[in-house]
């Protein structure tokens, strides 16, 4: 081989060696991504950012949670895991190597366990030495902030609970002024507590029953407003609609009360009869007999086995009875049946004797002749001797 050819051959060999050397300087990164449930996470985005010079690479995990990226220049990298558009974990200062891939694994289930442990530590204020060492300055600052917020919330909750309990004690003792004051204070501390508004409404309604005239009207209006707040926060509570209806009835707003009881019955069908019975009782107590009769009738239509409603409806129908010239009571149709149904359902109930007496009166004439109870008894005539 001539000297020229040898030079050319050596040059080609050198070029091949140089090309092989450049190819050998690439590296790869692979690993597994586990979700919070401990299983492989599919479709997680792994972002590989070179730290010594500019370079960004991306790869997604497969159905088993595995990822692999080849052709990376040797160097120092930051590997970031992104899930649903958020960076959830990072491995920094990852140095790649020639030959086998550099392994970088992500385990979100382990991260969740650590996060939960830190959460418990934040709640209890008991941070282990290991947890303290592992925390970043940002995590420590966030934990300190959370602990302060929790302490403030606990103090607020204690004050709220104290005010609520004082109000409940006052309400049970029928100290309505004190109850209103305590529940109003609680509602200012946390206006999102529906139970506070409901009890404030009860306190106002109770207070209203101790007043008269314009003062009573003003207090009852506040009670109705408080009920509105409670139902706004929890519209599906049939009990609130029931109590609101009773307050409306006391305020002589009977159509509105009927509408609210209808809502209560729709929300809680199994107890619908009780809602109408309650309205009837309130109406009787304020002398509204006709609306009361309709309420008791509605209670029976909703629940035919509601014994007390049967009795009260019977009493209402008695007021419609007539008396015949010979002194007999002629009840309206359905009166006997109402009392009989009550006795069938509650033979030993509190109204049993009264119901029996009502039924007996239908078959007896009413005494219409006046007798002086203080008059001396009539003298018997002596029998004539034969």
**Could you tell me which residues come within 8 angstroms of residue 88 by beta carbon, excluding any fewer than 6 positions away?**
81, 82, 108, 111
Q: Which residues of 35-66 are buried (b: 16+ CB within 10 A; e: fewer)?
A: bbeeebbeebbbbbbbeeeeeebebebeeebe
CA–CA separation, 305 and 67 (whole Å): 69
Where do the domains of the chain lie, and which CATH numbers do they carry?
26-135 (2.60.40.1120)
Closest CA to 240 of 269, 277, 206, 268: 268
Q: DSSP character for 100? A: S
For 299, counting Cβ atoms within 10 Å of its Cβ (0-12 exposed, 13-18 middle, 19+ buried), the class is buried
Candidate from 37-41, 140-144, 303-307, 363-367 with smallest mean pLDDT: 363-367
Candidate from 41-45, 55-59, 75-79, 324-328 with smallest mean pLDDT: 324-328
Say if residue 324's pLDDT is above 50: yes
Closest CA to 46 of 4, 115, 101: 101
3-state SS assignment for residue 94: strand
Closest CA to 317 of 296, 341, 343: 296
Q: What was the pLDDT predicted at 139?
A: 64
Q: What was the pLDDT predicted at 168?
A: 94
Q: What was the pLDDT predicted at 2?
A: 46
Using only the alpha carbons of the chain, give its radius of gyration: 43
Kindly give the interhelix angle for 213-233 and 194-208, rounded to the nearest 10 degrees: 160
**Could you tell me which residues come within 8 angstroms of residue 207 by beta carbon, excluding any fewer than 6 positions away?**
176, 177, 179, 180, 219, 223
Closest CA to 77 of 41, 104, 106: 104
pLDDT digits (tens, 9 = 90+) for 242-274: 999 989 988 888 889 888 988 998 999 889 899
Q: What was the pLDDT predicted at 365?
A: 52
CA–CA separation, 322 and 366 (whole Å): 12
What's the full length of the chain, in residues?
386
pLDDT digits (tens, 9 = 90+) for 59-89: 999 999 999 999 999 999 999 999 999 998 9
**Could you tell me which residues come within 8 angstroms of residue 83 by beta carbon, excluding any fewer than 6 positions away?**
41, 44, 45, 108
Q: Please compute the mean of the pLDDT values over residues 115-143 and round it to a whole number.
A: 64
Q: What are the Cα distances from residue 159, in Å, to 17, 124, 164, 299, 303? A: 80, 20, 9, 42, 44
pLDDT digits (tens, 9 = 90+) for 181-215: 999 999 998 899 999 999 999 999 999 999 999 99
H helix or E strand, kind and range, residue 32: strand 26-34
Name the region of 278 (left: φ>0; alpha: ψ -120 to 50; beta: rest): alpha
The structure's pTM equals 0.52
Q: Strand 76-83 and strand 106-107: pairing?
A: unpaired
Candidate from 35-49, 61-75, 139-153 with smallest mean pLDDT: 139-153
CA–CA separation, 192 and 232 (whole Å): 10
CA–CA separation, 336 and 342 (whole Å): 10
More confident residue, 384 or 186: 186
Q: What was the pLDDT predicted at 100?
A: 92
Q: Dump the DSSP string for 235-286.
A: TT-HHHHHHHHHHHHHTT-HHHHHHHHHHHHHH-GGGHHHHHHHHHHHHHHT
Name the region of 193 (left: φ>0; alpha: ψ -120 to 50; beta: rest): beta
Please calculate the CA angle 16-56-26 and round it to the nearest 5 degrees: 25
Q: Find the distance separating the first CA and the last CA of the chain, reported in whole Å.
A: 188
Candidate from 60-64, 95-99, 145-149, 265-269 with smallest mean pLDDT: 145-149
């Amino acid at each position: 081989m001539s000297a020229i050819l040898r030079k050319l051959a050596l040059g080609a060999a050198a070029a091949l060696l140089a090309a092989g050397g450049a190819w050998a300087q690439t590296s790869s990164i692979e690993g597994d991504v586990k979700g919070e449930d401990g299983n492989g996470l599919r479709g997680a985005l792994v972002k590989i950012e070179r730290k010594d010079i500019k370079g960004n690479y991306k790869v997604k995990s497969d159905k088993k949670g595995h990822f692999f990226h080849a052709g990376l220049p040797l160097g120092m990298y930051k590997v970031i895991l992104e899930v649903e558009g958020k960076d959830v974990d990072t491995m920094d200062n990852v140095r790649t190597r020639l030959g086998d891939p550099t392994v970088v694994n992500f385990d979100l289930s382990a991260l969740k366990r650590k996060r939960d442990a830190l959460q418990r530590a934040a709640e209890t204020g008991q941070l282990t030495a290991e947890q303290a060492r592992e925390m970043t300055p940002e995590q420590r600052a966030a934990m300190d902030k959370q602990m302060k917020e929790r302490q403030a919330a606990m103090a607020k909750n204690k004050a709220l609970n104290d005010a609520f309990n004082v109000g409940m004690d006052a309400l049970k003792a029928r100290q309505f002024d004190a109850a209103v004051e305590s529940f109003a204070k609680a509602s200012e501390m946390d206006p999102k507590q529906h139970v506070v508004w409901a009890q404030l409404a009860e306190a106002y309604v109770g207070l209203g029953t101790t007043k008269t005239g314009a003062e009573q009207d003003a207090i009852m209006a506040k009670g109705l407003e408080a009920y509105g707040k409670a139902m706004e926060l929890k519209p599906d509570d049939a009990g609130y609609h029931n109590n609101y209806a009773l307050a409306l009835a006391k305020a002589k707003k009977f159509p509105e009360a009927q509408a609210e009881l209808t809502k209560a019955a729709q929300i809680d069908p199994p107890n619908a009869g009780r809602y109408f019975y309650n309205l009837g009782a309130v109406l009787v107590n304020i002398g509204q007999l006709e609306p009361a009769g309709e309420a008791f009738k509605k209670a029976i239509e909703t629940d035919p086995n509601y014994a007390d409603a049967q009795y009260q409806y019977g009493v209402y129908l008695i007021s419609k009875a007539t008396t015949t010239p010979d002194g007999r009571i002629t009840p309206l149709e359905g009166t006997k049946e109402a009392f009989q149904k009550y006795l069938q359902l509650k033979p030993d109930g509190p109204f049993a004797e009264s119901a029996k007496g009502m039924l007996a009166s239908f078959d007896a004439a009413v005494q219409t002749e006046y007798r002086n109870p203080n008059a001396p008894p009539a003298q018997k005539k002596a029998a004539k001797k034969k």
